């Protein structure tokens, strides 16, 4: 058995957290490859080391005073080293970092030092080999991640390394300079390492016990999701649910490696398992509910629209010309509705209307703003009759008017449009009918 374990910033924010991580790793011999983030927040008002590094670099590279900021960063690491009673001194590393900041080595370089230094500490603490991600994770000159080159070199390197710490979040450009993934990118590094070693499992340790069925800011204490497929996760993530970086799915998905989201502060919780597929019956009919507010609908009506070949293409062409992407497009016999992000659409509104008139001569165009979209996602819906019926009766009972319904043919996802003002009440009503009622 080979496992890759990635630990998020809050799991490594202090010596106390590091000790929990050490216990987790030592409890299972197959946890052989460790991907740390930079130290995160120790409490609500704290600052992540990554953010401190960006701020410090900004000051140093523009000639402003940066000494205090750099000392505060050093202090964060020294507290961890002291708390773990390690015989390790980072003076040399900090001297190099300071020189490179003044030499303007770039904000990616600056941010990456958070993971780099945490990786050095972690390797000392565990007695594992340290592998600098710059030596094994590659980007091209445009900053595009080179998945195959990385996979080849990383596999080769790790084939000869029994246990290692590989810092998350960054790699190198062809000229040797440092490049980072987008924020939260250590999740991607973990996934890349899992692919390279053909891991049996990619454990992603964070500060929550997995994905929750819905947003805890809307529903109090929602239940966790036990098992979710990559596809379901993608649908929910797209609609705003977040725990894992979206791009972290791709490397492991190619190999069918499951991801287990776990809680460093509650290692006894099983967390959420993300899999390619499963024949395990889901506990509830639906897997998750996610949604977003701030949409606008454009409804175009024209008698006999259905017989006009090319109608849809011409309408969508108008949106394309303005660089507006559309979210959903339910259609009727003589109507077609396009859902767009209100903030993107507003500035182009009149241009869109006049150009649709020119392109397809509609009978009318109607706009409605302040709409929300809710995705009800679940592989269990396919085999269950009456899912849509239950959603709509729950919404009717909650006195919520449904503006739009869109179900993909995969039956994995039902999208419902409601007024922004009804958004939270709608999510609660759907949660209650499926989860509270099925508990
Ligand atoms: N430390 C980086 C960030 O704060 C990357 C990560 O934690 O995954 O975004």
CATH of the domain at 337: 3.30.2130.10
pLDDT, position 239: 81
Q: Give the pLDDT confidence of 208-238 residue by residue, as tens digits.
A: 999 999 999 999 999 999 999 999 998 888 8
- Identify the domain boundary among 207, 234, 266: 207
- Identify the domain boundary among 175, 207, 239: 207
SS3 296: strand
How many domains are contained in the chain?
2
Asked, for residue 348, whether it belongs to a domain, the answer is yes
pLDDT, position 251: 95
The answer to whether residues 61 and 155 belong to one domain is yes
Task: State the residue range of the domain holding 10.
Answer: 3-207
Contacts of 136 by beta carbon, 8 Å cutoff, 6+ apart = 150, 153, 154, 157, 166, 171
Check: CB of residue 173 under 8 Å from CB of residue 233.
no
Shortest-distance Cα residue to atom 8 of ligand 1: 184
What is the pTM (predicted TM-score) of this model?
0.87
Shortest-distance Cα residue to atom 2 of ligand 1: 184
pLDDT, position 353: 95
pLDDT, position 42: 96
Q: State yes or no: pLDDT of 382 exceeds 90.
A: no
The answer to whether residues 41 and 158 belong to one domain is yes
Sole residue written with tokens 């966790």: 224
Shortest-distance Cα residue to atom 1 of ligand 1: 38
Asked, for residue 169, whether it belongs to a domain, the answer is yes
> 127 versus 322: which is more confidently predicted?
127
What is the Cα–Cα distance from 164 to 130, expressed in whole angstroms?
6
Residue to mutate, 7, 10, 37, 166, ligand 1, most ligand atoms under 8 Å from C-beta: 37
Q: State yes or no: pLDDT of 205 exceeds 90.
A: yes
Ligand 1 centroid from CA 52, angstroms: 12
Ligand 1 centroid from CA 118, angstroms: 12
- Integer Rg of the chain from CA: 25
pLDDT, position 118: 98
Give me the mean pLDDT over the 381-389 stretch. Answer: 84
In the DSSP assignment, the letter for residue 436 is: I
Read off the pLDDT band of 243 (50, 70, 90).
confident
- Identify the domain boundary among 207, 233, 260: 207
Read off the pLDDT band of 425 (50, 70, 90).
very high
Asked, for residue 281, whether it belongs to a domain, the answer is no
């Amino acid at each position: 058995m080979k496992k890759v374990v990635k630990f998020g910033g809050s799991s490594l924010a202090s010596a106390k957290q590091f000790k929990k991580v050490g216990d987790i790793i030592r409890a299972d011999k197959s946890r052989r490859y460790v991907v740390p983030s930079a130290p995160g927040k120790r409490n609500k008002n704290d600052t992540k080391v990554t953010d401190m590094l960006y701020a410090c670099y900004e000051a140093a590279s523009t000639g402003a005073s940066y000494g205090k900021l750099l000392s505060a960063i050093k202090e964060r690491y020294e507290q961890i080293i002291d708390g773990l009673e390690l015989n390790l001194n980072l003076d040399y590393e900090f001297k190099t970092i300071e020189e490179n900041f003044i030499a303007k080595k770039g904000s990616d370089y600056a941010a990456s030092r958070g993971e780099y230094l945490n990786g050095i500490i972690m390797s000392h603490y565990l007695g594992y080999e340290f592998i600098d991600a710059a030596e094994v994770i590659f980007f091209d000159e445009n900053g595009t991640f080179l998945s195959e080159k990385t996979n080849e070199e990383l596999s080769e390197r790790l084939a000869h390394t029994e246990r290692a710490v590989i810092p998350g979040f960054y790699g190198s450009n062809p000229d040797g300079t440092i490049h980072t993934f987008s924020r939260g990118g250590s999740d991607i590094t973990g996934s890349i390492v899992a692919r390279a070693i053909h891991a049996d499992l990619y454990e992603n340790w964070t500060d929550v016990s997995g994905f929750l069925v819905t947003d805890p800011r809307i529903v109090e204490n929602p239940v966790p999701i036990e098992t979710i497929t990559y596809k379901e996760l993608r649908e929910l993530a797209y609609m705003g649910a977040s725990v894992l970086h979206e791009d972290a799915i791709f490397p492991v998905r190619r190999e069918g490696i499951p991801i287990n989201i776990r809680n460093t502060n509650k290692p006894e919780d099983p967390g959420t398992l993300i899999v390619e597929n499963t024949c395990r019956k889901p506990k509830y009919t639906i897997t998750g509910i996610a949604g977003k507010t701030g949409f606008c609908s454009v409804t175009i009506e024209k008698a006999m629209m259905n017989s006009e070949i090319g109608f849809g293409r011409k309408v969508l062409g108008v949106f394309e010309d303005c660089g507006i992407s559309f979210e959903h497009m339910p259609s009727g016999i003589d109507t077609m509705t396009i859902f767009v992000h209100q903030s993107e659409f507003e500035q182009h509104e009149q241009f869109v209307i006049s150009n649709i008139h020119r392109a397809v001569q509609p009978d009318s165009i109607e706009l409605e703003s302040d709409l929300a979209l809710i995705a009800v996602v679940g592989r269990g819906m396919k085999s269950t009759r009456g899912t849509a019926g239950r959603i709509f009766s729950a919404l009717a009972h909650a006195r919520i008017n449904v503006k739009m319904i869109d179900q993909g043919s995969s039956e994995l996802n039902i999208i419902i449009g409601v007024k922004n003002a009804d958004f939270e009440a709608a999510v609660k009503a759907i949660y209650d009918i499926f989860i509270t009622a099925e508990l």
